[in-house]
Amino acid sequence: MMAGLRERKKEQTRRRISEVALRLFDERGYDAVTVNEVAEAAGVAKVTLFTYFPSKECLVLDAVKDDTAAIVAGREAGQSPFDALREHYRGMARQGTGEVDVEGMITRVRVISASPALLAGVHQTNMGQRYELATALAEAMPGHGLAPQIMAAQVTAAVTTLQEVFFHRLSMGVPLEEAGRLLGEEVELAFDLLEHGFSSIKGEKS
């Protein structure tokens, strides 16, 4: 395999495009920057850019995937799908997202939060995962009719909301540590709601 000069160059180009794009979007706003500009600034042709990233959105969102279906499928024996998910998000809140480049992540979040189009894109991604999660749940607990689908939708919705609030805080300048702590609390709230239902809250209405 010889280390592969070709491979290295590809990865390098991909990174360069991604970084240049993120910088431009951050400076002037996602909508105000055209893909032509990104390509030119990165020193590649538009066509090349689109071979690396299938769409403009992906320039920002490709790095923000989160595979909930895999969590369910890969859970330990004896653990319910629900508990596996809860545990996963607990861990995520505790130790941060694990991304190496924190600075870049915050920039990315800022860019996303500033663009309705990108926020919509994140939703779409989450919705796609909802479908996969539904499939995984249906396998894990057969014979419950529509319940897996509805549960998948609810889990996805809750997680999306948590993610959104987390992103919003970061883009507002809340330090990562603090945001992580708040997220931790809210993960518990969200999963309690999922597990025990709204009735557990309606009762304590002030």
The site partner of 77 among a second copy, DNA, none (C-beta below 5 to 8 Å per kind) is: none
The site partner of 124 among DNA, a second copy, none (C-beta below 5 to 8 Å per kind) is: a second copy
Q: Which residue has the tokens 């989450």?
A: 126
| Residues between 8 and 47 with contacts to a second copy, criterion CB under 8 A | none
CA distances from 133 to 24, 122, 153 (A): 35, 16, 8
**Stretch touching a second copy by CB under 8 A, among 22-30, 62-70, 107-115, 193-201:** 193-201
15 binds DNA (CB under 7 A): no
| Residues between 58 and 87 with contacts to a second copy, criterion CB under 8 A | 80, 82
Residue 206 CA to residue 43 CA, distance in Å, equals 60
Instruction: Output the CA torsion sign for 181, 178, 161, 100.
Output: negative
Q: Are 85 and 68 in contact (CB under 8 A)?
A: yes
135 binds a second copy (CB under 8 A): no
Closest CA to 67 of 2, 131, 161: 131
CA distances from 37 to 15, 26, 42, 49, 120 (A): 16, 14, 8, 11, 23
Nearer to DNA, 59 or 84 (CB): 59
The site partner of 100 among a second copy, DNA, none (C-beta below 5 to 8 Å per kind) is: none
Residue 132 CA to residue 138 CA, distance in Å, equals 10
The site partner of 172 among DNA, a second copy, none (C-beta below 5 to 8 Å per kind) is: none
Nearer to a second copy, 27 or 185 (CB): 185
| Residues between 138 and 157 with contacts to a second copy, criterion CB under 8 A | 141-147, 149-151, 153-154, 156-157
Residue 152 CA to residue 173 CA, distance in Å, equals 32
Residue 89 CA to residue 192 CA, distance in Å, equals 13
Interface with a second copy by CB under 8 A: which residues? Answer: 80, 82, 120, 123-124, 127, 130, 141-147, 149-151, 153-154, 156-158, 160-162, 165, 186, 189-190, 193-202, 205-206
Which residue ranges make up the site for DNA (CB under 7 A)?
2, 4-7, 9-10, 13, 33-36, 43-48, 50-52, 54-57
